Every structure is written in C-alpha cells, then in structure tokens.
Chains A and B, each alone.
Chain A
Amino acid sequence: NAGVMQNPRHLVRRRGQEARLRCSPMKGHSHVYWYRQLPEEGLKFMVYLQKENIIDESGMPKERFSAEFPKEGPSILRIQQVVRGDSAAYFCASSPSGTPDGYTFGSGTRLTVV
C-alpha cells in the first residue's frame, strides 16, 4: 500500500496561470480532505469530497478554486489565475470512514507563485 500519493511535490506557476494538484487516496479510502498550510501556520480545511461528490466546500475560496473526485482517478484541486497569496503547501488526507481518526496525510504539494 503506497499510502496517500500527491503530485507534483513542487509546483511553480506564474501569476495568472492555473495550478492542478492531484491526490490519490490510500487503497480502500473513498473520503478525501484537502487542507492548505501557509508558511509558519497550521493547516486549514478547504474541502471534503467523496467519490463524485463534494460534501463540504465551506473552507474553499468561492472564486478561482475548485475540487473534484471522479469515479476513476485521483482527486484534483484546481486553482485558476493563481496569485502570490496562493503560495502554500497543499495537503490531502484520505480516510476510510470520513472521520479524522482515520486520516492519513499525503506528502503535500508545495505551490510557489512567482
């Protein structure tokens, strides 16, 4: 079991470009959470998805950000028209049950906007 896989590990984008972050959950896990970590800060919840459904996107900015978890393939967090303030580490966690006591975090994607 390879654990939660995130790619790319590092992503550099110019202002105005799009960033696509991928998260493949652990085998058997159908619940995915995305968190953002700004430098020197704790993680902040963004969105919770199950296969083909967004369950809770209350932590995700209304504009420019979107997430999906298709029936086949990884979960994708998309940031359109990136700005410098989007520079952060983005972590996903997967869980078999949807509750945090089953969380396993991925290694994160470090997005740098130049």
Chain B
Amino acid sequence: GENVEQHPSTLSVQEGDSAVIKCTYSDSASNYFPWYKQELGKRPQLIIDIRSNVGEKKDQRIAVTLNKTAKHFSLHITETQPEDSAVYFCAAENSGAGSYQLTFGKGTKLSVIP
C-alpha cells in the first residue's frame, strides 16, 4: 500500500517569511496529491492540490511542486501570516479494492510568529 512521509513535524517561522513542507510517497501509481489545512478542532480543508501531469501549481501565496521521478512533493507558503498557523497535511491518492482513498502524512504544525 501507499506510505506518505511528511517533514518537518513542527515548523516555526516569523511573519512574512516563507514556509516549506515536504512529503514523499511510495506508490508510483499515485497521481493526485492534495494538501489540507486543519485548525484546532476543525475539519481538514483543501488548500491546494496537484495531479501528476503537472509539475507545479500556484494559488496566490501557496504553491505546490511535484517531482514524480523522486516521488516527492512540497508545499510552499510565502509571506506567511498569523492566520496561516495550523496543522498541514499532505496526502496521496491510491486506488485499491475499487476505491480511491487518500493516504495522509502525519502532519506539520506550522506556527507563524507575529
């Protein structure tokens, strides 16, 4: 099955700096990679995603890069703001037994210091 590793587990940055979170996956057949933001006690919310036919995708201050050969993908947040503080999860889609599941990383707790 798919295995997703995520680093770092915690990240503190000064407001205005950039934050980078990295993930690796094991199943070369995976082709959909979403990133979720989860605030304390709330639901995971999709912030950006990328498919394997694309190497990079950007949405305002957030970007995701994908290297299929190396099986890793990264989340980049620029000009961080205090409201970016949350736990971020990467995930990879894997298909099995007729379903399309997501395998999640263990999360990165991002703290943006004002």
Chain A residues near B99 (CB-CB < 8 A) = 33, 48, 55-56, 98
Establish whether residues B98 and A42, one from each chain, have CB atoms under 8 Å apart when the complex forms: no
Return the contact of B103 from the options A45, A48, A99, A105 (Cβ within 8 A).
A45
A60 nearest CB across to chain B (Å): 12
Establish whether residues B43 and A105, one from each chain, have CB atoms under 8 Å apart when the complex forms: yes
Q: How far is the CA of A89 from the CA of B16 in the complex (A)?
A: 33
Chain A, Cβ-Cβ closest to B107: A42
Q: Quick check: is A101 within 8 A (CB to CB) of the other chain?
A: yes
Number of A-B contacts (CB under 8 A): 63
Q: Quick check: is A91 within 8 A (CB to CB) of the other chain?
A: yes
Binds A, one of B44-52, B55-63, B65-73, B76-84: B44-52
Establish whether residues B49 and A43, one from each chain, have CB atoms under 8 Å apart when the complex forms: no
Q: Quick check: is A106 within 8 A (CB to CB) of the other chain?
A: yes
Establish whether residues B101 and A56, one from each chain, have CB atoms under 8 Å apart when the complex forms: yes
Scan B10-35; emit 1 where CB is below 8 A from any A CB, else 0: 00000000000000000000001010
Chain A residues near B43 (CB-CB < 8 A) = 91, 105-108
Q: Quick check: is B102 within 8 A (CB to CB) of the other chain?
A: yes
25 chain-A/chain-B pairs, Cβ below 8 angstroms: A33-B101, A35-B102, A41-B107, A42-B4, A42-B91, A43-B89, A43-B102, A45-B103, A48-B99, A48-B101, A55-B97, A55-B99, A56-B98, A59-B101, A91-B43, A91-B44, A98-B99, A99-B32, A99-B93, A99-B100, A100-B32, A101-B34, A101-B49, A103-B46, A105-B45
